[in-house]
Amino acid sequence: MAEEVQPHPVGGVDYPETFQQLLAWFPDDVSCLDYLAGLRWPGGFVCPACESSRYWRTAKARWMCADCGRQTSVTAGTIFHRTRTPLSTWFAAVWFITSQKNGVSALGLQRVLGFGSYETAWAWMHKLRRAMVRPDRDQLSGVVELDEVFIGNETRGKAGGAKDNTAAMVAVESMPGRKLGRVRMEVSPLAGSAALVEFAQRTIAPGSTIRTDGARHLRVLSDLGYHHEYFVGLTSTLPAHVFLPGVHMVASLLKRWLTGTLHYAASQDHLGYYLDEYTFRFNRRTSKARGLLFYRLLQQAVGTDPHPLKDLLKPSESDDFT
């Protein structure tokens, strides 16, 4: 049986197109819960215990299964799990984050929403960043540039603004007319290692053409189902930034975003999540419907684990940025 194709969301019907419309659509928690329910259960509610689709709504805004009696909250197991803040405030935060092309910093979010502490805004930003990348997203295809770039992160507490340089793996689709397609980025565990090959296998579809520099450890790509093109230092007529213009452009824009929006506030422990946010923004950079980004982020948020503050402060080594 063929998988049902979901219709493309329509502005003004499936998502608000302006901030004024956002306020009109979501004045209270009930309206927000109804909206989240539509995103979490697009085909209608299904009981997680007995898979029955018969239910009724309780006075506490829970979905009660008519067959087994289990009560389910639409926010349970999501980033909104057990939140004490009105969902309308969460929706406003998502709107501000997605409606601005370059996003907002935690300090900016604190100011616009009137949070009493910076920590609250910081935690909300990181919860939402964890919803910005879908685990089942499509792989890149066609002609893809692949390389490692170094990102300087200002180390707080060190005199002179010392910086730790971290390697990030970047893959970007190269389109006709020197245009760029989608991008994938991850922090590299060790620059110049086999991790870049493993990253390519996770993010680039077999049969694609991969362009890299002349590093020998990357030449195995031709044995892994890819068409591999590479340049070799002095024997090439093209410098690296000309042979791989997409990677260098993405790296330049990423560094500008980190300095302009985040003001070097991206710590190394959390850099992977900042790369996720930049990927989310870059891959939707041509969208004229900013409300659609609001819709997509909420859609992914109801499928993302809660992530309590202690986990946000000290990300586990098992955290997956793929």
Domain that holds residue 220: 143-284
Return the structure tokens found at 296: 């997509």
141 has a pLDDT exceeding 80 = yes
User: What is the per-residue pLDDT for 249?
Assistant: 95
pTM attached to this predicted model:
0.86
71 has a pLDDT exceeding 90 = yes
Does an H or E element contain 158, and which? none
The more confident residue out of 256 and 238 is 256
Q: Which amino acid is at 320?
A: D
Judged by average pLDDT, the poorest of 124-128, 226-230, 265-269 is 265-269
User: What is the per-residue pLDDT for 268?
Assistant: 74
User: What is the per-residue pLDDT for 239?
Assistant: 57
With H, G, I as helix, E, B as strand and everything else as coil, classify residue 230.
Answer: strand
pLDDT tens profile 29-52: 999 999 999 999 999 999 999 999
C-beta separation of 62 from 73 below 8 A: yes
pLDDT tens profile 163-191: 557 889 999 999 999 899 999 999 998 87
pLDDT tens profile 260-315: 776 655 677 788 999 999 999 999 998 889 899 999 999 999 999 998 888 888 77
pLDDT tier at 158, thresholds 50, 70, 90: very low
d(CA 185, CA 168): 7
**Three-class DSSP labels, 39-78:** HHCCCCCCCCCCCCCCEEECCCCCEEECCCCCEECCCCCC
159 has a pLDDT exceeding 50 = no
Position 173 in a domain = yes
User: What is the per-residue pLDDT for 300?
Assistant: 95
pLDDT tier at 321, thresholds 50, 70, 90: very low
Position 74 in a domain = no
Position 62 in a domain = no
C-beta separation of 91 from 26 below 8 A: yes
Position 147 in a domain = yes
Mean local confidence (pLDDT), 216-231: 94
The CATH number for 172's domain is 3.30.420.10
Percent of the chain with pLDDT over 90: 67
User: What is the per-residue pLDDT for 93?
Assistant: 97
Position 169 in a domain = yes
**Could you give the number of structural domains in the chain?**
1
pLDDT tier at 161, thresholds 50, 70, 90: very low
Return the structure tokens found at 113: 């929403």
User: What is the per-residue pLDDT for 259?
Assistant: 84
Position 161 in a domain = yes
60 has a pLDDT exceeding 90 = no
User: What is the per-residue pLDDT for 189?
Assistant: 87
Position 107 in a domain = no
Query: CA nearest 197: which of 212, 175, 182, 181?
Result: 212
User: What is the per-residue pLDDT for 233?
Assistant: 57
pLDDT, mean over the chain: 87
User: What is the per-residue pLDDT for 207?
Assistant: 97
User: What is the per-residue pLDDT for 231?
Assistant: 81
Return the structure tokens found at 146: 């692949």
Mean local confidence (pLDDT), 53-67: 93
The more confident residue out of 311 and 239 is 311
User: What is the per-residue pLDDT for 193?
Assistant: 78
Position 309 in a domain = no
